[in-house]
Copies of this chain bind each other. A is one copy, B any other.
Amino acid sequence: MADPQQDFRVAREDLERFMGEALAAAGADPASAAAATRALVTASRMGTDSHGLRLLPHYLQALKGGRIKGAPNMHFHQRLAATGFLDADDGLGHLAGYTAMEHAVKMADEVGLGAVAVGNSSHFGAAGCYALAAAERGYLGMAFCNSDPFVLLHDGAKPFHGTNPIAFAAPVEGESPYLLDMATSSVPWNRVQQYGAIGRELPDQVAADAAGQVSRNPCDVAALLPLGGSDFGFKGAGLGGMVEILSSTLSGMLHGFKLLPMGGPDMSTPRGVGHFFLVMKPDAFVEEGTFARGLADYLADLRAQPAAEGAEVLAPGDREWRCQAKRDAEGIPLDSANQLAYAEIATQYRITPLSQLD
């Protein structure tokens, strides 16, 4: 391809076409390719660049290496009226996530709540995608996932938890959902790498060196601190632990500390990632319509709050929906590294390259 461009944007449909073809070429069956494409494009439209199109090369590598099965035989075991286990058969975590959410929504529709523990899965991208899938159907959704260790325990000297995310979404009548999708560390690991690449100092209290001492120098950083930093990291670490218990202990999977690293070098051994999904029916507690009215009131009050000087008060998700509207109109940007990676994929899998928007 030509040299990377400063302002390279692509249409959502073209990105979906490209991802679908690439995933299929790497061995993903139609359902798997569609689920991964849906999750990656959802994240990229919302501006969650760390968990969007950037990850396609990784999933292709894992499919080619055999770590992830392109044509899994996922099986759902209903256990009780509100609970079940999805054996993801080492397939793509995105298919596992959307499938589990379908089952959870069905249970919540019948008995008010539904939860699915997922085992034998793999990286599922952004947790928010699955919470959102419930909210888009009119339900409250929560999603949790463990991952390999990057984050210190509070007062710990060695990474133990993953960035173990918590996602929560709620349907808002006539609007995009309320959407919280957060790692239980302050920053993701790739922030350290990005800052290191441009020689920028990290914020205070987000990372530590190999001895567990707080460091702002990306070159010295060996681990992330849990949300809350040195003083209050017991909260972030406790939340990370809750995510770990929900996603790996309830599903019978290895906890994050024992997981093979997502980044390899082993791309052939399944990792056995666990997820946990919870769905609630909003009108399963009080009179129908009360929840919708209450949430609208709450959000109106929230958005009317005065902001600190030079700042703006937003509800969780507002920034994401604003970004999505912009990217739907103007295209989804690819930085130079992603332009190169996607050009390589086009060559390797003989796929029509992405078209740059004007």
Contact = CB atoms under 8 A, between A and B. Distances in A.
A111 B237 CA distance: 30
Contacts of A82: 81-82, 111-113, 284
A180 interface: yes
A245 interface: yes
A305 B160 contact: yes
A297 to B, nearest CB: 7
A97 interface: no
A156 to B, nearest CB: 5
Interface residues of A, number: 89
Copies in the complex: 2
B186 A231 contact: yes
Interface in A187-242: 187, 203, 205-206, 211-213, 227-229, 231-232, 234-239, 241-242
A86 to B, nearest CB: 10
Interface of A: 79-85, 110-117, 119, 140, 153-158, 160, 166, 168, 170, 178, 180, 182, 186-187, 203, 205-206, 211-213, 227-229, 231-232, 234-239, 241-242, 244-245, 248-253, 255, 257-258, 278, 280-282, 284-287, 290-291, 294-295, 297-298, 301-302, 305-309, 311-316
